[in-house]
Structure 1
Amino acid sequence: MTGLKHWHVTASKVVLADRWIRVRADSCIAPSGDVVDPFYVLEYSDWVHVVALTDDDRLVMNRQYRHAAGEVHLELPGGVMDTADGGDPIVAGAREFREETGYGAREFRRVVSLRPNPATHTNRVHTVLALGARPEGTQSFDNGEEIAVELIPVADVLRLIREGEVQQSTHVASLLLALAAAGRVTF
């Protein structure tokens, strides 16, 4: 143990709240006595990423526009976990995968749960491995979504990551950890 102690929160107020995010301003005192005020905390619902492999060893990935970056990105299928998912990453992952890609899978497995940014975010990102991915229907987009599905050979994924083709850092972590769990990469 390091002996590090938590900050003491003396006050907290929500400064923004909508269906996607709550922003909280905390007044804190660090163990050193330093006052940290305000410290902004971003309260998001948990997210889920799906690393989906077809039987012929290809990844089912999405290409879509990301407004904050102003760019089109290659990403994993996934999204926000809904209350209807019952807090189950596998249920959420299967739902998001079907909605975004029109694909299903023979098997879904939970791989890992990580924190995207524990300094400011309250949520977790859950990685689900889908094996035996195959087309099962049509895509069903949320408002503003437009997604092109791409099948990427697993043999190409490390090169694509190194070349910066996959920009989202939590997607890179999910890809590497799920492919390791599937026995497709080692490190």
Structure 2
Amino acid sequence: MDKYEEKTISGTTIYEGKIITVRIEDVELPDGNHAKRELVKHPGAVAILAITSEGKLVLVEQYRKAIERSLIEIPAGKMEPGEAPEVTAVRELEEETGFGAKKFTYIQSFATSPGFANEVIHLYLAQGLYKIDNPAAGDEDEFIELIEATIEEAEELVATGKIFDAKTAFAVLYAKDLLNS
């Protein structure tokens, strides 16, 4: 048992969408007082640090409505119900980049916004990349541009804010260490 656990007394789902569910929960705090929590439930996602044989990172640029701007990111996507993270990694790499990989290596999982959401991203390294002749189509509402960047170029994208999300910034740091060892 966690000494800081907040015990749920009751909860109500206020929105159930295609990707997320939003709940309001009444909780009992460790000191016995009560509080309300607004929670976003998410099925989880996978992100892929894909590195070419030339040592370049495979990135995608796409518009993110939540922050009203385009971002450059590593390929990533939502897990389908019952889908294992490694299966999602293979699918998302193909759909977003047209690449397959000879080797996928699990790196780490992390919470994206644990203050209000339960989303966990599972990060994989994809190596031995090859182009797929007829890749699976991506989501019909996604418009993506493929970018390949050296680690130095990726660091500059972080410094200028073009890479702005935590999963990609983390992946760039990991890649720098990997490529410089």
* Fold conserved between structures, TM > 0.5: yes
Instruction: Determine the structure 2 residue equivalent to 1:140.
Output: 137
**What 5-or-longer segments of structure 1 have no aligned partner?**
none
Instruction: Determine the structure 2 residue equivalent to 1:55.
Output: 53
17-26 or 161-170: bigger deviation? 161-170
What is the alpha-carbon distance in structure 1 between the residues aligned to residue 65 and residue 95 of structure 2? 20
Instruction: Determine the structure 2 residue equivalent to 1:12.
Output: 11
Matches within 5 A, 1:152-167: 152-167=149-164
What is the alpha-carbon distance in structure 1 between the residues aligned to residue 23 and residue 4 of structure 2? 21
Amino acid at match of 1:184: L
What is the alpha-carbon distance in structure 1 between the residues aligned to residue 35 and residue 66 of structure 2? 28
Instruction: Determine the structure 2 residue equivalent to 1:184.
Output: 179
What is the alpha-carbon distance in structure 2 between the residues aligned to residue 145 and residue 51 of structure 1? 19
TM (norm. structure 1) is 0.88
- Using the TM superposition, give the Cα deviation of residue 178 of structure 1 relative to its aligned residue in structure 2, in angstroms: 4.9
Preserved contact between residue 21 and residue 44 of structure 1 (Cα < 8 Å): yes
What is the alpha-carbon distance in structure 1 between the residues aligned to residue 132 and residue 87 of structure 2? 16
Relative to 1, partners in 2 of residues 1:178 and 1:91: Cα closer, same or farther, differing over 3 Å?
A: farther
Alignment pair present for 1:110 and 2:102: no
Relative to 1, partners in 2 of residues 1:179 and 1:116: Cα closer, same or farther, differing over 3 Å?
A: same
1:174 to 163, 171, 175: 171
Amino acid at match of 2:144: I
Relative to 1, partners in 2 of residues 1:178 and 1:57: Cα closer, same or farther, differing over 3 Å?
A: closer
Preserved contact between residue 103 and residue 136 of structure 1 (Cα < 8 Å): yes
What is the alpha-carbon distance in structure 2 between the residues aligned to residue 5 and residue 58 of structure 1? 43
Preserved contact between residue 49 and residue 93 of structure 1 (Cα < 8 Å): yes
The Cα offsets for residues 127-147 of structure 1, whole Å up to 9 and x where unpaired, read as: 010012232134612131111
Q: Percent identity?
A: 23
Q: How many residues align?
A: 179
What is the alpha-carbon distance in structure 1 between the residues aligned to residue 172 and residue 79 of structure 2? 19
151-160 or 8-17: bigger deviation? 151-160
- Using the TM superposition, give the Cα deviation of residue 75 of structure 1 relative to its aligned residue in structure 2, in angstroms: 0.8
Instruction: Determine the structure 1 residue equivalent to 2:34.
Output: 35
TM (norm. structure 2) is 0.90
Amino acid at match of 2:179: R
Preserved contact between residue 43 and residue 81 of structure 2 (Cα < 8 Å): no
Preserved contact between residue 61 and residue 70 of structure 2 (Cα < 8 Å): yes
The Cα offsets for residues 94-137 of structure 1, whole Å up to 9 and x where unpaired, read as: 10010011111121111000111112111210101001223213
The Cα offsets for residues 20-74 of structure 1, whole Å up to 9 and x where unpaired, read as: 011111001212233212x111100111100000001111110111112221110
Amino acid at match of 1:94: V
1:72 to 70, 73, 76: 70
